[in-house]
Amino acid sequence: MVQTKTVERENIKRKHLVSSLITGLVIGTILGTPIGWFAHRFYYQQNLARTLICREQNSNKPAAIVDEICGSRF
C-alpha cells in the first residue's frame, strides 16, 4: 500500500513578502558592509603597492615620465 500525503501550500502573503524583503535587506546590509570594506581595503593596498614598486623601479626618470608610466598614487 502506498500512502500519499498531500501538503497544502500556502502562498506567501503580501505582508509576509514585505517583511521578508526588509529582513533580507537588513541582513544583507549587515553582512555585506564588512565584506565590501575588506575587499576595498585589499584592492587599495594592492594598487598602492603596485604603484610604489613601479615608482621605485623608475626613480631615475623625471617625475612627469614616472607619472605617465606608473600613474598617480592617489
Q: Does residue 48 lie within any of the structural domains? A: yes
Chain segment 18-42, per-residue pLDDT in tens: 888 999 999 999 999 999 999 999 9
Whether residue 60 lies inside any domain: the answer is yes
What is the spatial distance between Cα 9 and Cα 55, in angstroms, rounded to a whole number?
Answer: 65
Residue 67 inside a domain? The answer is: yes
What predicted TM-score, i.e. pTM, was given to this entire model?
Answer: 0.57
Structural domain boundaries, residue 40 = 35-74
Residue 17 has pLDDT above 90, yes or no: no
50, containing H or E segment: helix 14-57
